[in-house]
Amino acid sequence: MRGKWQLLTIVIIVALSAVTIIQVPLNFGLDIKGGSHIILEAEPTPGVKIDNETMDRAKNVIERRVNGLGISEPVIQRQGANRIIVELPGIQDREEAIDLIGKTAQLEFKDPEGNTRLTGADLKDAQAQFGGQYGQPVVALEFTAEGKEKFAKLTQENIGRNVPIVLDGEVLTNPVVNQAITDGKAIIEGKMSMDEAKNLAVLLKGGALPVNLKPAEVRNVSPILEKESISRSLNAGLLGLGLVLLFMLFYYKLPGLAADLVLIIYGLIVMATMAGLRAVFTLPGIAGFVLSLGMAVDANVIIFERIREELKSGKRLHAAISAGFHRAWTCILDSNLTTLITAAVLFYFGTGAVKGFAVTLTIGIIASLFTCIVITRWILTAVANKNPSGMIRSFLGKGAVQNG
């Protein structure tokens, strides 16, 4: 009866894994699907303390900008005390994106004496449109209530004089005030294309970065490059896996076949867990997966060797299987836990690809513990019930007989 419940559990787990893999698309890293990986580092800026709050604000600004550019599925994360990671899948408009993301975008409205009277913080909205004197592309600004008053005062005081609009220290436009502007609206005009106007609007609407950021690492991978590398690595992994399955079958015969079945189930469970957790498959991650497969094989080898010893010492088949599992358990637990320790350290210290490797390895180790203890045991017991003499011959060699 117990066996039936176990079978049901195993079937449910396998079915769930299969459905998950089919339903949830695997999440591939930039090294596989191509795109830009950018690490921005906060530069010491006079008058700005680089702390948690500053970096969170900077991250929010970058998020608004990236969203404003309409890039799909971006990843924006803080890293360490002073860095922000930006991942942009795909390669369209990459250069433009990097340009925009790193800009401080400190907008200032100055009076003729050069004093800053309004900043980007006084803006409520910015839109690119055709306008101005000749219907050329411009950016239309709308101020907040407070900004509206400040701007009215600035224009009132400076009729007939120039009030420069400055972005990151560069004068965008230097219009002459004809009359006081009290409706809280203004336009920035200058020599720009519609695209440039749109980007400027995105920048201004997203707000200024509270601190200067400079790229410390930029990696652009085109999807074409990796396609070949991926399929080669994948085929190599499958070839290795095939060799492992064959080896187990030839060396261990019947229990080897059981181990092969367990390994395939193991692969399904790991893939499904990766998909379910939305974990990212990177190239080193796939290598980690292949490696953890090796460890799953190891658990089975340890168990089989143990059962063989128990049989040699004269135990009956079922007693030998039971004792074999019992005695293999501490060994498997200790060896897997120590590997788990290194995976955890990798996860804590690693970044990017190395972290992906650690995640895959961790999931692999846990799945390996589960499959070898639960599924291998169930299958071995079932086979031993059906074909005890075949099982004993597999473990002890031809001609071995044991009275079941």
Partner 1 sequence: MAKYNFMGKRKIFLTLSAIVVLASIVLLLIRSLNLGLDFTGGVLLERKFEKPVTAAQIRGVLTGAELKELGLGQSVIQPAGDGSEAIIRTKSLSDQEIRKIDAALGEKFGKVQELRTDMVEPVIGKELMRQAGWAVAISWLLILVYIAFRFEYLFGIAGVLALVHDVIVTLGFFALIGWELNMTFVAAMLTIVGYSINNTIVIFDRIRENMRLRRRESLEELVNNSINETLSRTINTSLTTLFTVVAILVFGGATLKVFALALLVGIVAGGWSSLFMASPIWFWLKGFEERKRASGKAVKA
353 or 369: CB nearest partner 1: 353
CB 331 to partner 1: min, Å: 4
Query: Cβ of residue 293: shortest distance to partner 1, in angstroms?
Result: 7
Beta bridge partners of 134: none
Kindly tell me which of 176 and 337 has the beta carbon lying closer to partner 1.
337
Q: Determine how many CB atoms are found less than 10 A away from the CB of residue 210.
A: 21
Tell me whether residue 27 or residue 220 sits nearer to partner 1 (CB atom). 220
- Nearest approach in angstroms of CB 336 to partner 1 is 8
Nearer to partner 1, 51 or 95 (CB): 95
Residue whose CB is less far from partner 1, 187 or 396: 396
Alpha carbons 306 and 310: distance in angstroms, whole number = 6
| Strand duo 35-42 + 165-167: pairing | unpaired
Length of the chain: 404
Measured from the CB atom, the residue of 144 and 370 that comes closer to partner 1 is 370
Continuous H helices in 277-316: 283-312
- CB 375 → partner 1: shortest distance, Å? 18
Least distance (Å) from partner 1 to the CB of residue 14?
23
Q: Which residues pair with 176 in a beta bridge?
A: 162
Question: Environment class of residue 130 by beta-carbon count within 10 Å: exposed (0-12), middle (13-18) or buried (19+)?
Answer: exposed
- Residue owning tokens 């749109």: 198
Q: How far is the CB of 292 from partner 1 (least distance, A)?
A: 10
Helix 388-396 vs helix 223-276: crossing angle, to nearest 10: 130
103 Cβ partners below 8 Å, 6+ apart? 168, 203, 209
Q: For 160-195, b where at least 16 C-beta lie within 10 A, e where not — what string? A: eeebebbbeeeebbeeebeeebeebebebbbebeee
- Of the two residues 117 and 377, which places its CB atom closer to partner 1 in the complex? 377
CB nearer partner 1, residue 32 or residue 71: 32
> Which among 167, 137, 170, 143 has a CA at the least distance from the CA of 155?
143
User: Shortest Cβ distance from residue 354 to partner 1 (Å)?
Assistant: 5
Q: Is the dihedral of CA 117, 119, 121, 125 positive or negative?
A: positive
C-beta closer to partner 1: residue 161 or 214: 214
Q: What is the DSSP string of 309-322?
A: HHHHTT--HHHHHH
| Separation between Cα atoms, residue 227 and residue 342, nearest integer Å | 31
Of 203 and 297, the one with the shorter C-beta distance to partner 1 is 297
CB of 4 to partner 1, least distance (A): 32
Q: What letter represents residue 79's amino acid? A: Q
Gap between the Cα atoms of 145 and 124, Å rounded: 9
Closest CB 195 distance from partner 1, rounded Å:
17
Which residue do the tokens 């340890």 mark?
Answer: 302
Rounded alpha-carbon distances, angstroms, from residue 271 to 10, 22, 59, 276, 355: 16, 10, 32, 9, 17
Residue 259 CB, shortest distance to partner 1, in Å, is 10
